[in-house]
Amino acid sequence: MEFERRRDTVTVRITGELDHCSAQPIRRELDGLIADPGVKKLVMDLQDMAFMDSSGIGVILGRYRALALRGGKVAVKNMNPQVKKVFLLSGMDQVIQIM
């Protein structure tokens, strides 16, 4: 997973497909990236994410919850139409910014 840290923000590029099969390794990597309590914002660049189902909702919301506990937040960008449809259906746009 390609990532970049700038001050309190980590931007990460998630590639491939986010389903139940890939959820566990992706979750672990994301948790590693936000383990430092100095990280207050996680930006997920989904440009190269070809597919997501409801397992992805769980992964994104789980990271949101972890960051919200320290006053942080999550944002997403570059969603393809399939990913965006699942994202919007879940109502996640209430708490997660689309950049």
Partner 1 sequence: MKIINEMKLEFMGVPENEGFARVAVSAFAVQLDPTLDVLADIKTAVSEAVTNAIVHGYADAPRGIVTVAAALRDDGVLSLEITDKGKGIADIDRAMQPFFTTQPEKERSGMGFSVMQTFMDKVTVESTLGEGTTVRMQKRLREG
Could you say whether residue 58 binds ligand ATP (CB under 6 A)?
yes
Could you say whether residue 55 binds ligand ATP (CB under 6 A)?
yes
Q: Which amino acid is at 27?
A: R
User: Which 6-45 positions form the footprint of ligand ATP (CB under 6 A)?
Assistant: none
Residue ranges in contact with partner 1 by CB under 8 A: 17, 19-21, 23, 27, 51, 53-55, 57-59, 61-62, 81-82, 85-86, 89-90
Q: Is residue 77 helix, strand or coil?
A: strand
Closest CA to 12 of 41, 56, 44, 52: 44
Binding residues for ligand ATP, rule: CB under 6 A, are 54-55, 57-58
